[in-house]
Amino acid sequence: MSPIKTLRVMKKQPVQIRNNRGFSLLEALLGFLILSIGMLGIASLQAISLKAGKTSVYGSVAMMKVEELFESMRANPSATALDAYAVAGAGAGTNNNCVGATICSGVELAQEDIYWWKKNLVAGLPGSTTTAITYTAAIPPSKMATMTINVKWDERDKNTGGSISKTYSTTARICTDVPC
């Protein structure tokens, strides 16, 4: 025998495909059904996230508007003016034209602050219906009065199709005399 072995090359015979002739109509429809269900799930999640985003925006607007009013109160800190904020907060406020040459008292400035604040609140927070501002006077020897602001607005309720009330409430201590 010779040390060199001969290699046999085998011819590859073609594989006959008798049963595999592509997808059937049933398989294609089943794949389309699964894809459709997945796409509906994604659309549902998108709608839920948009609603949650809108709720978050409204809460942020309410918080910013309340802080804006607290800053107006800190700029006009007399006890009578703080009481005027609470009284004017029950109504719509009054536009006293305190800008420019007109000199306004602390009470008139408080009424105007409430007037413009409520206009801006409705513009930034559609459906805001009621606000409540409460004033608790400082108890001597402290000079810190307590102000509480509640903002209420309505949002669309996805489950019932109606509306649902939301409220943002916060309290701040404001100095009524300088130095505090």
pTM of the model: 0.69
| Separation of alpha carbons 110 and 76, rounded Å | 8
Domain-wise residue ranges, the chain = 61-175
Give the model confidence (pLDDT) of 53-68 as tens digits. 778 888 899 999 999 9
| Separation of alpha carbons 94 and 107, rounded Å | 11
Give the model confidence (pLDDT) of 84-94 as tens digits. 888 888 887 78
Q: Between helices 106-124 and 25-75, what is the axis angle to 10°? A: 180
User: Where is 32: in which H helix or E strand?
Assistant: helix 25-75
Peptide bond just before 141 cis, omega within 30 deg:
yes
Cα separations in angstroms, 115 against 28, 86, 120: 65, 12, 9
| Mean pLDDT score of the chain | 83
